[in-house]
């Protein structure tokens, strides 16, 4: 059995008539139980990569395996093991209430009704969601994002993919979500968390390892010490390391 939850080899993605390369020769190995951060500025290719890992879009080059399965050949085997949270949430039913949506998804996850209600209430309190009985279409963008996060907490998925999870959250809700990721999604649960962000502090506070993506390329990957060693800057802050790798000329 492979020790890796996520493996990519020579992964590439090209968009549009101009054949613009969004991702180039991506090689990543991510372990079970790891919290892994993909750090990069807006437009670096983070969302494209996370959508490929969840099999929402297909790569044009290379190989991607999740839990040892090739996502091009066996997406049906992988999707039940993944919980995906993205900014553009389209899977909620706009005329149902927030609570009805979450209870519906909990039923899809085969959660008993009593346990589903308990988890919904707990997560809603943690993330500061009020008025669960409002229709989904009435919520603000930030509140819709929180509901998507609650849905990910209901699942027993072994791999949690989050695209900029604290985007649209106020500082208090962002802090609570980081606590959930640190305490509930790691350690003994053996869940693996892969999240994208452009917030340096968030990546450093949460991640076991960090990869820096710039202009579609992985510039460096490792623990903080490994990142410091790779750029020959012992004790350097993540900000200095990020500037070092993103200011290089291709």
Query: Three-state DSSP class for 20?
Result: strand
Domain containing residue 204: CATH number: 3.40.50.300
Q: What is the distance between the terminal CA atoms of the chain, rounded to a whole angstrom? A: 37
Tokens of 88: 């553009």
Q: Which domain holds residue 96?
A: 4-246
Residues of the chain with pLDDT below 50 are: 249-250
Q: How many domains does the chain have?
A: 1
Determine contact, residues 5/30, Cβ cutoff 8 Å: yes
The dihedral built from the CA positions of residue 163, 74, 116 and 88, taken in this order, carries a sign that is: positive
pLDDT given at position 31: 93
pLDDT given at position 249: 47
pTM for the full predicted model = 0.86
Q: Which residue has the tokens 């791999």?
A: 159
pLDDT given at position 182: 80
Alpha helices in 89-237, H assignment, sequence order: 98-108, 113-126, 141-154, 171-184, 200-206, 224-230
DSSP 8-state class, residue 249: -
pLDDT given at position 167: 81
The dihedral built from the CA positions of residue 100, 105, 108 and 114, taken in this order, carries a sign that is: negative
């Amino acid at each position: 059995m492979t020790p890796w939850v996520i493996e990519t080899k020579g992964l590439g993605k090209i968009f549009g008539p101009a054949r613009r390369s969004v991702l180039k020769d991506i090689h990543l190995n991510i372990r079970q139980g790891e919290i892994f951060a993909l750090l990069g500025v807006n437009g670096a290719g983070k969302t494209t990569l996370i959508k490929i890992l969840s099999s929402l879009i297909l790569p044009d080059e290379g190989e991607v395996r999740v839990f040892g399965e090739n996502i091009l050949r066996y997406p049906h085997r992988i999707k039940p093991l993944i919980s995906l949270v993205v900014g553009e949430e389209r899977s909620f039913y706009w005329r149902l209430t927030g609570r009805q949506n979450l209870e519906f998804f909990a039923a899809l996850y085969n959660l008993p009704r009593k346990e589903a209600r308990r988890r919904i209430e707990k997560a809603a309190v943690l993330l500061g969601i009020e008025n669960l009985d409002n229709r989904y279409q009435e919520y603000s963008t930030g509140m819709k994002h929180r509901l998507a996060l609650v849905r990910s907490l209901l699942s027993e998925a072994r791999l949690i993919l989050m695209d900029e999870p604290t985007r649209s959250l106020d500082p208090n809700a962002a802090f609570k979500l980081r606590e959930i990721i640190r305490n509930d999604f790691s350690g003994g649960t053996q869940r693996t968390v892969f999240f994208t962000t452009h917030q340096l502090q968030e990546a450093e506070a949460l991640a076991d390892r960090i990869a820096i993506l710039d202009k579609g390329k992985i510039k460096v990957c490792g623990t903080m010490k490994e990142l410091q060693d790779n750029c020959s800057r012992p004790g350097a802050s993540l900000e200095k390391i990020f500037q070092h790798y993103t200011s290089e000329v291709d």
